[in-house]
């Protein structure tokens, strides 16, 4: 019986200890919960303070930005107005300057036209034809036949050649040789009945260097000219002289020939007489026998008329 009481007492003591332990743990748990709640409240308070501080800073920054933008806009408006005023001032000054320049240019144009008019009325007394000769000679050809030879000039990029009628007359074969010694067959397009001119066509599929005819109003006594041709078989020779007279009638054809002191020899016939503008002044035709410096050329306007009829 005493043992049973002792056992119950031990059990009661153990239960009391367990209860005390549970009570102690519950107290600790409650205290921890309170500490956690206090920490959360403190953390939330810190977060709220930080949020409020940031919102206040953002508000200040926004206000400052708006203030700076307004100030910049006001400054920009002021500078724009000033710039417009300056631009209007510059525009006015420019228009005034342009007006003055236009007046001056107008005066210069009048003086330039007057000078050109004076220059055009001057006879050419001297000119260096070296660069011109190097170019125009590319448009000059030797005209070879079974009867002899002469000269010719290409006046159209398609290979139309003008020469003297007497160079090809009674010939059964005709061909031309260019400055690079290329040989080309030709066909006779036509001959003039009242003037010593003939037109040939190079039968070759390519384009050629050619020369234009000069305006008759540009042909003046005293003007320096060159003759390009094959005098006495000396291919592509260049001789220089002046125009001695225009509209010189010396035969029954009634043609007003160009008289020149440029040496004209056998083989020069059909070659071009060229001015300082690289244009055909005339087609060299003949010289008076037993004379020096008395050569004659068919004028450009007559030659051009024949050329136009032949190319149509």
Of 139, 151, 178, 196, which one is the catalytic site residue? 196
Q: Which two tokens stand for residue 156?
A: 């159209």
Backbone conformation region of residue 91, classed left if phi is above 0, alpha if psi is from -120 to 50, else beta? alpha
* Residue 146 is a catalytic residue: no
The residues with which 245 forms a beta bridge, in sequence order, are 259
Which of 151, 166, 178, 237 is catalytic? The answer is: 166
> Active-site residue 166, yes or no?
yes
Residue among 269, 290, 301, 305 flagged as catalytic: 269
Q: What angle do CA 134, 139, 142 make, to 5 degrees?
A: 105
123 is catalytic: no
Active site (catalytic) residues: 166, 196, 269
């Amino acid at each position: 019986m005493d043992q049973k009481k002792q056992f119950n007492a031990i059990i009661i003591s153990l239960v009391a200890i367990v209860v005390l332990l549970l009570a102690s743990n519950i107290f600790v748990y409650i205290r921890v919960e309170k500490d956690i709640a206090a920490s959360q409240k403190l953390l939330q308070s810190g977060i709220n303070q930080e949020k409020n501080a940031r919102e206040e800073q953002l508000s200040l920054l926004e206000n400052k930005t708006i203030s700076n933008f307004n100030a910049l806009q006001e400054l920009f408006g002021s500078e724009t107005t000033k710039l417009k005023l300056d631009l209007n001032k510059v525009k006015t000054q420019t228009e005034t300057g342009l007006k003055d320049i236009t007046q001056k240019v107008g005066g210069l144009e009048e003086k330039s036209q007057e000078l050109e008019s004076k220059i055009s009325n001057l006879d050419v007394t001297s000119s260096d034809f070296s660069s011109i000769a190097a170019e125009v000679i590319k448009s000059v050809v030797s005209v070879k036949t079974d009867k002899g030879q002469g000269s010719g000039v290409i006046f159209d990029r398609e290979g139309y050649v003008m020469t003297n009628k007497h160079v090809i007359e009674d010939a059964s074969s005709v061909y031309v040789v260019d400055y690079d010694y290329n040989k080309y067959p030709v066909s006779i397009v036509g001959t003039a009945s009242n003037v010593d001119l003939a037109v040939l066509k190079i039968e070759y599929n390519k384009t050629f260097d050619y020369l234009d005819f000069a305006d008759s109003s540009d042909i003046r006594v005293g003007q320096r000219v060159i003759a390009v041709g094959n005098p006495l078989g000396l291919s592509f020779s260049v001789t220089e002289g002046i125009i001695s007279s225009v509209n010189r009638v010396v035969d029954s054809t009634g043609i007003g020939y160009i008289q020149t002191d440029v040496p004209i020899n056998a083989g020069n016939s059909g070659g071009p007489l060229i001015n300082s503008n690289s244009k055909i002044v005339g087609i060299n035709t003949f010289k008076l026998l037993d004379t020096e410096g008395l050569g004659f050329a068919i004028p450009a306007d007559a030659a051009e008329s024949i050329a136009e009829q032949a190319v149509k």
